[in-house]
Structure 1
Amino acid sequence: MVLSLAWIAVMLIAGTLWVRRDIAAYARFQTQSDTIDRQRLYRRWLIESFAVLGGASVFSLWLADALWPFTGFPSAFAPASRLLQSDGSISGDQWLPIAIGLFFGMVISVAIKWRQIKKSLAPGAGPDQALIPRNRREATLALLLSLNAGFSEELFFRLALPLLLLQVTGSLTLALVLSILAFGLAHAHYGWKGVLATTAAGALLTLYYLHHGSLLRVMTAHAVINITAFFVRPAIADLILSRKAPRWALAAS
């Protein structure tokens, strides 16, 4: 217990320093136009996040007696999972009218909100706008960064940290809430709006994880969210607003 408390204190201090440095680095990144400098920061974030979060996850899981035998969904999370399980089910003959209704509802909503949708797709719409790759080399690094975030962040914030906090506090609810808040604060370089958005996303990912019980699923979902933000949405914006292919699909350097 003493070692676990000491490790949490170390992570709190080191995490605070790391986030403060990231805030400064991201502010600098937003002003950079040279792709070599941008690629250097992409690589630094990729290597550091994998090493730091991966290492912290392994040590935290060891302290929580969950490193071996490793399971993507520990039995300690079972009470929360049972609360999210629903006994209700939809029969096969009910899916078709539901799907048709959802489809036409989406079409009508898009038609009504078309101008707002175009505005939301415009450049500068989100705090992570600067991370959108500008050429193929940046795109490769951004893709690796997205995949790594799905792996290392979910391993730490969805599994390792909650388990360690549960061991120390004895409360699963408190452990999950603190982990969600830590996930949001870890993205402080996006500003307070980004912290709120990532905290909300962390809460949804936690619910998704507890409901399905699969760490791989939530890792994949996280990676898909990042890939959508860095590639899919900008590509759609380029096609709709300027009728051209994305910059990263054309530029090679």
Structure 2
Amino acid sequence: MMIQGLWLLGMLAGMAWWVRRDAEAYRRFQALTCSGDRQRVYWRWIAQSFAILVGASLISLWLVDGLSPFNTFPSAFEQAHQALRSPQHDGSAESMAGMAIGFAIGLAVLLFVQWRRIRKMLKPVAGPADALLPRNRREAMIVTVLSLNAGFSEELFFRLALPLFLFHLTGSLWIAFGVAGVCFGLAHAYQGWKGVLGTMLVGGGLTLIYLSHGSLLRVMLIHAVIDIMALLVRPAITRWIGRRNTLAAAGA
């Protein structure tokens, strides 16, 4: 228990250092104009986040005998899983239809939210996170890798390793997932307080999906898709609408 407590203190101290360092690095990144410099920073972020989050996840899981994240669902989360699991969640046609309807509704809500943002015609660097948007095809390719890495490494740490580790220390799922959710939001502090709150809300939704379905791979994929939508799809649609409006105004 002492080793686990020391490891927790080390992780919290390391996270505080990372958040501060990340905010400073992002401010420098916002000032970059050369695509080559931006690409190097992208790759550095990918390597650093993968090494730090996956490394911390493996150590945390090892300390609580939980090194089987993909083929088993932690028994520590089983109570929450049973509480959130639908009685019809048995793989039947009715269950699959319900899942499909739920996915369609969620997708419709996501598209509605994105459409409102598109209609506002955001400028290229209108918000704190918009400097991340790729400016050419090479950057778009790297941002895709960045999104996939975020989906994998962040979900492994914030949805499995950290909550499981905290549960073994506190015995409370509420504390475990609550603290992990706050940490997940603070890890995006470079986006400002709105970004932190928004990230915490998204993290809460991902936590519910994970606990109800018991699939870490599912939330990894959803996380990656959300990032790809925000960093690649939405900006592409925004640019297309902008060009069309410009052509329409010129022809008027």
TM-score range, shorter chain: 0.7 to 0.9
1:87 maps to: 87
2:16 maps to: 16
1:195 maps to: 196
2:27 maps to: 27
1:209 maps to: 210
Contact 2:70 2:217 in 1 (8 A): no
Please state whether the residue corresponding to 1:157 is helix, strand or coil: helix
1:219 to 2:220 alignment: yes
Q: Following TM superposition, by how much is the alpha carbon of 1:68 offset from its aligned partner in structure 2, in angstroms?
A: 5.0
Contact 2:69 2:160 in 1 (8 A): no
1:48 maps to: 48
Residues 74 and 31 of structure 1: CA distance in aligned 2, closer, same or farther (over 3 Å): same
Q: Following TM superposition, by how much is the alpha carbon of 1:28 offset from its aligned partner in structure 2, in angstroms?
A: 1.2
Contact 1:42 1:141 in 2 (8 A): yes
Q: Counterparts of 1:189 and 1:126 in 2: how far apart (Å)?
A: 11
Amino acid at match of 1:67: L
Residues 120 and 158 of structure 1: CA distance in aligned 2, closer, same or farther (over 3 Å): farther
Please state whether the residue corresponding to 2:120 is helix, strand or coil: helix
Residues 121 and 73 of structure 1: CA distance in aligned 2, closer, same or farther (over 3 Å): farther
Amino acid at match of 2:11: M
Q: Following TM superposition, by how much is the alpha carbon of 1:51 offset from its aligned partner in structure 2, in angstroms?
A: 0.5
Residues 150 and 175 of structure 1: CA distance in aligned 2, closer, same or farther (over 3 Å): same
Q: Following TM superposition, by how much is the alpha carbon of 1:124 offset from its aligned partner in structure 2, in angstroms?
A: 4.2
Contact 1:122 1:237 in 2 (8 A): no
Q: Counterparts of 1:142 and 1:70 in 2: how far apart (Å)?
A: 25
Contact 1:122 1:241 in 2 (8 A): no
Please state whether the residue corresponding to 2:157 is helix, strand or coil: helix
2:179 maps to: 178
Q: Counterparts of 2:85 and 2:190 in 1: how far apart (Å)?
A: 35
Contact 2:118 2:234 in 1 (8 A): no
Contact 2:134 2:140 in 1 (8 A): yes
Contact 1:157 1:183 in 2 (8 A): yes
Contact 1:205 1:218 in 2 (8 A): yes
Contact 2:50 2:149 in 1 (8 A): yes
Q: Following TM superposition, by how much is the alpha carbon of 1:35 offset from its aligned partner in structure 2, in angstroms?
A: 0.9
CA root-mean-square deviation: 2.9
Q: Following TM superposition, by how much is the alpha carbon of 1:172 offset from its aligned partner in structure 2, in angstroms?
A: 1.2
Q: Deviations over 1:178-228 (max 9, x none)?
A: 111110011111111110010111101000111111000000000000000
Q: Counterparts of 1:81 and 1:47 in 2: how far apart (Å)?
A: 33
Instruction: Show structure 2 runs of 5+ residues with no match.
Output: 246-252
Residues 241 and 158 of structure 1: CA distance in aligned 2, closer, same or farther (over 3 Å): same
Residues 42 and 72 of structure 1: CA distance in aligned 2, closer, same or farther (over 3 Å): farther
Contact 2:121 2:242 in 1 (8 A): no
Residues 75 and 133 of structure 1: CA distance in aligned 2, closer, same or farther (over 3 Å): same
